[in-house]
Amino acid sequence: MGFEPHMVDTVYRLITENMEQVYADLPGLRYRGDDGRIVTVTFREFAQDIRRCVGYLNEKLGGAQRRRVCLLGKNSYRYAVAILGLLAADSIQIPLNPYKSWEELHYELSLVDPDVILWDDANDPWRDQLLAEWKDRLLPLQECTRAEPAELQETADPRALAMIMFTSGTTGRSKGVMLNQWSIMITGRDSICSWRVVVERARQMGYTDDRFQLNHFSTLPLFHIAAYANLLHWPLYGTATNMGDARSLYRDLADMPSESMAVVPSIAEMLRRDILRDRRDKLGPLWILMCSSAAFSRETLLDLRDHGILIIQNYGMTETGSGGLVNEAQDEGHIATAGHTIPCMEYKLDQGELCMKGECLMLGYYKDPEAIAQAVDSEGWLHTGDLAKVDEDGYYTITGRKKNLIILDSGENVSPEELEGLLANCDAIRECVVKEKGKKICAVVFCQPEDQEKVRSYITRLNRTLPLYKRIGAVECSNVPLPRTAVGKLQRS
Amino acid sequence: MNRTEIMAQIVGILEDVAEISPDEVNEDSVLMDDLDLSSMEILTIVADLEETFGIRIPEKELRSFVTVSDLIDYLSARVG
């Protein structure tokens, strides 16, 4: 407990020092159990379950080192245990998004060809398909804490491939970002700049060193880099993670009082409305928002700040192990920027495009040398696809996107081409462009005036087959062909 | 509970969660388009409906909720 973090740089040390010694008796994780009650797990108990998971993996795989293990499920305590367990076992883990279409998931599973799939069998939306094709490789997540605890060993090489995380590609197909544990741990170390600001505010609020433990609430999915990295970062600071469900956000927040919360723009927007409507009691002791995944409205951030909320922002990508820019500035001039640089990375603007390289950078895209050649140049610079400018104080502002990718308020990235491909199946649609408009996915369609209703009802039907975040929220019909660029491509903006 | 009563509950929740005036809501309203709801707000509305009607709505049903009438259809089948 206290203001000083215990910095370590490997997962082995995180478990054996932070969880089993320094913060052992503090709450490490809270979640809602199957009976509906909140379960609190100390760091020591969490570490013990991680050891059991390593024991389970070793037993089932006859040695888990370097074996490829897919993780398939929604957020749960067992999922969190499995993430740390797989890292501790030196396996290669692939957290998959279970909400994707079967076609996408099938592509990712086939590409990775895992040794086993740890899955949440009872709740998996693709249960039948998985059983039909991968039955012999499925292992239930709920069993992973039922083995004898294993002895742990320091990883042979913290820079070796430890994880493949799929991210939306700009051409429709997702890409498997290969990361090591080093890149994620080092980002945790470099985020200390924002921790100091948290401590300073805590002192002002009357917290003392011996009585300070932060409780951080998150509903963000662990198969995305932000929440995944946080799971590894918070034990550095002795902070407890309160695992909530987006579907019961307010109930979970009430039952797991939290000073800090991970938010994407759509959640920040709801919280702002609660505060402005004098419903702050719904939010409990919340005073810190950790903002990431997409750009936040300046007005929203200022409103929240003016009501006593400390705003911390992180700009990062899966390709950088979540690292990138950090912003803890509260002044009007900087609060809405993406932030300033962190020590483990180098930065440059190449024709306005933000480029980064350094210790956080991915090892590459799995089995996709063409994609890596496009994203990382011969000098090792990752071209982020974001256009940016930097001010005299070193704060970067994202001014636009070079890559054709929609980043939504939910933090999800959506490839317009993927949706355009689905729209092309409708005979009445002659041409279409999918773009972001007013924070929503908008389809601009060229069709005959008499076909407009047909197009709209096709899109309504299509939406019923898509996850919530991918839904086309606006349709604009045109009676004339859509504008094209000089080289004949459909114009996107 | 009949459709009118279910609709009244939905209208009340929409007003509470997203400050949408009852006049703007009808059965054909598309949640994300006409009512301008974010995916996060839809989840909050679903949570409120679960509480109001004392039911648990399975994850896979969420995909089918595109319009207000989708919600009413589902709820009347469960609690009507």
CB contact burial A302-313 (16+ within 10 A = b; e otherwise): bbbbeeebbbbb
Q: How many helices (H) and strands (E) does chain A have?
A: 14, 25
Q: What is the CA radius of gyration of chain B?
A: 11
- CB–CB of A263/A289 below 8 Å? yes
Looking at the complex, does the CB of residue B5 fall below 8 Å from at least one CB of chain A? no
pLDDT at A169: 65
Judged by CB atoms closer than 8 Å, whether chains meet at B41 and A475 is answered as no
Distance CA A264, CA A267 (A): 6
Whose CA is closest to A215, among A260, A151, A282?
A260
CATH architecture, domain A415-478: 2-Layer Sandwich (3.30)
Residue of B16, B34, B36, B39 to mutate, interface with A, max A Cβ within 10 Å: B39
| Residue B63 pLDDT greater than 90, yes or no | no
pLDDT of the residue at A293: 87
pLDDT the model gives residue A336: 95
Helix axes B39-53, A265-276, angle to 10 degrees: 60
CB contact under 8 A, A410 and B19: no
- pTM (2 d.p.): 0.89
| Residue whose C-alpha is closest to residue B27's, from B72, B68, B64 | B68
- Pairing mode, strands A382-390 and A364-365: unpaired
Q: Which residue of B has its CA nearest to A266?
A: B40
d(CA A10, CA A156): 11
Domains A1-403 and A415-478 share a fold: no
pLDDT of amino acid A415: 83
pLDDT for A424 equals: 85
A456 touches chain B (CB under 8 A): no
Facing B39 at nearest CB: one of A74, A469, A474: A469
3-state secondary structure A343-370: CCEEEEEECCEEEEEECCCCCEECCCHH
Residue boundaries of the structural domains of chain A:
1-403, 415-478
Residues in chain A, pLDDT under 70: 1, 169-172, 487, 493
Domain A1-403 belongs to what architecture?
3-Layer(aba) Sandwich (3.40)
The whole-angstrom distance between residue A48's C-alpha and the CA centroid of its chain comes to: 26
pLDDT, residue A172, reads 59
Q: Tell me if ipTM is over 0.90.
A: no
Provide the pLDDT for residue B48: 93
**Residues of A with CB below 8 A from B44's CB?**
249-250, 270
Separation of first and last alpha carbons in chain B: 5
pLDDT of residue A446: 93
* The residue to which tokens 């301008």 are assigned: B36
Residue with tokens 């750009």: A295
pLDDT mean over B12-22? 92
Q: Which residue of chain B has the CA closest to A442?
A: B33
Going by C-beta distance under 8 Å and a sequence separation of 6 or more, which residues neighbour residue B30?
A: A460, B66, B67
